[in-house]
Structure formats: C-alpha cells, structure tokens
C-alpha cells in the first residue's frame, strides 16, 4: 500500500508542531475511485454513519451517475447519457469489516495522511454532497442496507467534466491535498496525480 503525506495547495492546512494527522484511503475500482474512512473518525462529522453499518471498521464513499452507478448491467447508452448532459447523481456507501487493502490488488489502494483540519474539510465536502429531505435527513434509495452497501441521493449533477473521479479529486482538494480535478476525469489519472512525489 502506498503511504503519502498531504501536499498543500491553496488553502493552508499545514499542521502546527505536535499536531496529528488523520489517515484516509483512496481505492480504485477499475474506472471508479472512492474515499475510504475509518468509521469512528467519520462519524464525528457524518452523524448518520453512527448508527449505520454496525461492526464495520471502515466506510467507503463514492459518487456517480444515478442510473449508471446503480445498474448491475450498465449499458453504453447509460454512459453516453451520463456524459453528454447533466444527470442526477448518487452516493454509494460501502462498509468494510476488515482491512480494506485485503479487497484491492496491489497499487489500487493508496493511504494519505491529512492534517486534522484538512480531514474535517474533506469529510464536510462528502457530507454536503448528500441530498436531504424536508427534515434534514439523507435520502436512501434502497429498501435496506446490505453487504453491498447503500445508495443515497446526491444534490450534485454528473456530466462529462464532473465524473466520479473528479468528485473524489475535489474532496481531496477541499482537504488541502494537491490534485487538479480537471485532470482527474479517469481513475488512472487521479491515482497518478496522488502518487507523484
């Protein structure tokens, strides 16, 4: 597993001497990337994780097109529609009950350390991506949580220049990590940016 420290850009989240970092993971699923957080840390900022996924040690959050991302048999038509004009989107939350690196081939998961303030900003970015009902509750799209996780409605729109990997890159950038979302259209491009020294 690659271990990288935060590279600062824009907003300065440089920690003070003696302050600590928080670790996150970026996982690559072929064309898609997701952000993997320790459940205990994320629940401090995303309250609905507190009671969800009992027993899970880690939570992965990914974002994508409403139809394509949720489909078990995604089609070319779905992909073209998602790329050509803005479409609805969803967030997928996937629990891990053991070390997430056990689920990824070597090189497809990277560990990053962010200063605490940067970590809080990243988690805030994730939190504000969820759509909410009139009572302020997030909106699940499945009848129940299962081993494959749960989909939730997002407030954001998916399109050619706002792919799942761009969303992941924007989350990282919000935490002070040096990535360029415009150049993160593919999972490979994003992982290459994260790995560069």
Specify the pTM: 0.84
pLDDT of amino acid 175? 94
pLDDT tens sequence for the chain (197 residues): 544 544 444 455 555 455 678 999 999 998 899 999 998 777 666 767 767 788 889 999 999 988 877 766 655 555 555 555 678 999 999 999 999 999 998 889 999 999 989 999 999 999 999 999 999 989 999 766 566 788 999 999 988 788 999 999 999 999 999 999 999 989 999 999 998 86
Q: Tell me, yes or no, whether 165 lies in a domain.
A: yes
pLDDT of amino acid 144? 61
CA distances from 16 to 9, 24, 57, 178 (A): 17, 20, 29, 19
pLDDT of amino acid 85? 65
Q: Tell me, yes or no, whether 65 lies in a domain.
A: yes
Structural domain harbouring 52: 2-192
Q: Tell me, yes or no, whether 142 lies in a domain.
A: yes
Q: Tell me, yes or no, whether 24 lies in a domain.
A: yes
Q: Tell me, yes or no, whether 98 lies in a domain.
A: yes
d(CA 195, CA 189) in angstroms, rounded, equals: 10
pLDDT of amino acid 31? 87
Q: Tell me, yes or no, whether 149 lies in a domain.
A: yes
> Structurally, how many domains does the chain consist of?
1
CA distances from 132 to 1, 107, 120, 195 (A): 35, 35, 20, 35
Q: Tell me, yes or no, whether 197 lies in a domain.
A: no
Give the residue from 45, 4, 6, 5 showing the smallest Cα distance to 175.
6
Q: CA 23, 28, 31: angle at the middle one, nearest 5?
A: 150
Give the residue from 84, 103, 33 showing the smallest Cα distance to 63.
33
């Amino acid at each position: 597993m690659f271990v990288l420290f935060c590279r600062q850009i824009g907003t300065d989240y440089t920690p003070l001497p003696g302050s600590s970092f928080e670790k996150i993971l970026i996982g690559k699923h072929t064309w898609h990337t997701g952000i993997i957080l320790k459940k205990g840390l994320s629940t401090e900022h995303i309250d609905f994780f507190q009671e969800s996924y009992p027993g899970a040690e880690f939570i992965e959050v990914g974002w994508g097109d409403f139809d394509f991302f949720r489909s078990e048999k995604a089609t070319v038509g779905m992909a073209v529609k998602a790329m050509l004009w803005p479409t609805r989107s969803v967030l997928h939350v996937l629990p891990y009950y053991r070390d997430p690196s056990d689920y990824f081939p070597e090189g497809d998961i990277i560990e990053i350390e962010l200063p605490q303030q940067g970590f809080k900003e990243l988690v805030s970015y994730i939190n504000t991506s969820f759509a909410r009902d009139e009572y302020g509750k997030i909106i699940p799209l499945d009848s129940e949580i299962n081993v494959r996780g749960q989909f939730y409605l997002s407030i954001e729109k998916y399109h050619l220049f706002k792919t799942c990997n761009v969303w992941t890159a924007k989350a990282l950038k919000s935490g002070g990590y040096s990535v360029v979302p415009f150049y993160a259209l593919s999972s490979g491009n994003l992982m290459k940016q994260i790995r560069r020294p």
